[in-house]
Amino acid sequence: MASNEILYILLPDFASHEMVYLMEAISSDEQQLKPNPKYINKIVAPTMEPVTAIGGFRVLPDYSFETMPHDFAALVLIGGYGWLTPIADMVAPIVREALDKGITVGAICNGASFMAKCGFLNNVRHTGNGSDQLKLWGGENYINPDGYIHQQAVSDGKIVTANGSATLEFAKELLLLLDNDTPERIEMYYQFNKQGFCVLFSE
Amino acid sequence: MASNEILYILLPDFASHEMVYLMEAISSDEQQLKPNPKYINKIVAPTMEPVTAIGGFRVLPDYSFETMPHDFAALVLIGGYGWLTPIADMVAPIVREALDKGITVGAICNGASFMAKCGFLNNVRHTGNGSDQLKLWGGENYINPDGYIHQQAVSDGKIVTANGSATLEFAKELLLLLDNDTPERIEMYYQFNKQGFCVLFSE
């Protein structure tokens, strides 16, 4: 049986706003709707030491790059400044293995830029922090600028990409791709958080 | 000199999406704009043990209820399910002391409901997860239903309240009250994340 773990790659100075909506939707399903959870969230960091968010708080990893499993349901690259540092290179083989196995990969903000840098966006329509940033990071490895779509999040095949302001759209596309809930309930979750309680519900 | 620490109260099963935008704005200011940071984020939890978000990840506290300082720049109650448990009672004297000293207090989602329960919303215009929930939690201690305003976030005096879908509006009102940056830059931060990169900037 395939693993039901969704692995979130967090590098130092990660952008925590980019993971919270996806993680909460996955766990709400886990906690409230089904006796046997469809998916379980797990944090992966370079080591088992706490990893610090841009916001300054420290998260305890569930796995390090060394102890993480090779079988999982999805891999999610959360953005932040760590993707600009050498430690990011250690993530390339992890993503390559996931893609080779046909496992869903999500990448947001600098996580998407890193995908361009590794040549992982060359066969899919995709987005990220603007086409200029993808070209800058991608260099010679990024030969698919025509596949860039200027929208908040793009889902194509097994890859979902998004810009750093698109945490809700990123969550929605991954929840749909992972079939985490019905499309109607996923859309409700998205709209509730996008528009807000007071816009959707009058007193 | 008054402390520049902003304390975030996290109880077990806290709603992490409710803290990330405020924390990132405070720390971006900290890291990028000024050599001497105006404010610093600190996590407070019941004990020094890791506290788990609804999304399933574990955050290491900077302070416990026992070790937290009595002088700080602001106190922020992040929502979640912990406010429904007895441990929340330990937060009441912390909030009371802050209010008595004229320190800024933010409360979102069940954090706002808890404020109603403690009678802390009786002298301010406020909001929360709907007036019915405030009345339910507040019971006899909540004698200000007329002060309820049905909008995403409300700032009055030193108290900012918001509903659980209003993390961006909550951040904006607290950033303004704390004078963290210019109103123009705070509005830009809000709009960038609310509307999104692709809506605001065409290619």
ipTM: 0.95
B91-140 pLDDT per residue, tens: 999 999 999 999 999 999 999 999 999 999 999 999 999 999 999 999 99
Q: Report the share of chain A in percent with pLDDT over 90.
A: 91
Give the residue on B whose Cα is nearest the Cα of A56: B41
Residue A29 has pLDDT above 90, yes or no: no
CA distance A147 to B198: 16
pLDDT bracket for residue B37 (50, 70, 90):
confident
Tell me the average pLDDT of chain B: 95
**Selection from A130, A169, A194, A149 nearest residue A22 by Cα:** A169
Average pLDDT over residues A131-135: 97
Contact B163 A198 (CB under 8 A): yes
Residue B36, pLDDT score: 66
Chain A contact present for B193, CB below 8 A = yes
CA distance B179 to B186: 9
| Joined tokens for residue B202 | 């065409």
Q: Report the share of chain B in percent with pLDDT over 70.
A: 96
Say which residues have a Cβ less than 8 Å from residue A155's Cβ, sequence separation at least 6: A173, A174, A176, A177
CA distance A122 to B55: 32
Secondary structure class of A23 (helix, strand, coil): helix
Q: Which residues pair with B160 in a beta bridge?
A: B106, B155
Q: CB–CB of B97/B31 below 8 Å?
A: no
Closest in A53, A127, A198 to B150, CB measured: A198
Which letter does DSSP use for residue B168 in this model? H
Q: How many CA atoms lie within 13 A of A64 on its CB side?
A: 8
CA distance A144 to A95: 18
Residue A35, pLDDT score: 60
CA distance A149 to B179: 37
Chain-centre distance for alpha carbon A176: 13
Exposure letters A9-24 (e unless 16+ CB within 10 A, then b): bbbbbbbbbbbbbbbb
Strands across the sheet with B74-77, in order? B63-64, B40-45, B5-9, B74-77, B104-108, B159-162, B153-156
Average pLDDT over residues B1-5: 83
Q: What's the pTM value of the predicted model, to 2 decimals?
A: 0.96
Chain B contact present for A173, CB below 8 A = no
Q: How far is B5 from chain A (nearest CA, A)?
A: 12
Give the residue on A whose Cα is nearest the Cα of B25: A55
Residue B31 has pLDDT above 60, yes or no: no
Residue A107, H or E segment: strand A104-108
Q: CB–CB of B81/A97 below 8 Å?
A: no
**Selection from B148, B145, B110, B154 nearest residue B129 by Cα:** B110
Give the residue on B whose Cα is nearest the Cα of A27: B55
Amino acid at B194: K
**Selection from B179, B196, B9, B5 nearest residue B109 by Cα:** B9
pLDDT bracket for residue A202 (50, 70, 90):
confident
Amino acid at B140: E
A150-172 pLDDT per residue, tens: 999 999 999 999 999 999 999 99
Ordered by where they begin, the domains of chain B are 5-200 (3.40.50.880)
Q: Are strands A58-60 and A63-64 parallel, antiparallel or unpaired?
A: unpaired
Contact B150 A203 (CB under 8 A): yes
Tell me the backbone φ, ψ of residue A94, rounded to 5 degrees.
-65, -45
pLDDT bracket for residue B29 (50, 70, 90):
low
CA distance A100 to A158: 11
What are the C-alpha distances in Å from B148 to residues A87, A150, B151? 49, 40, 9
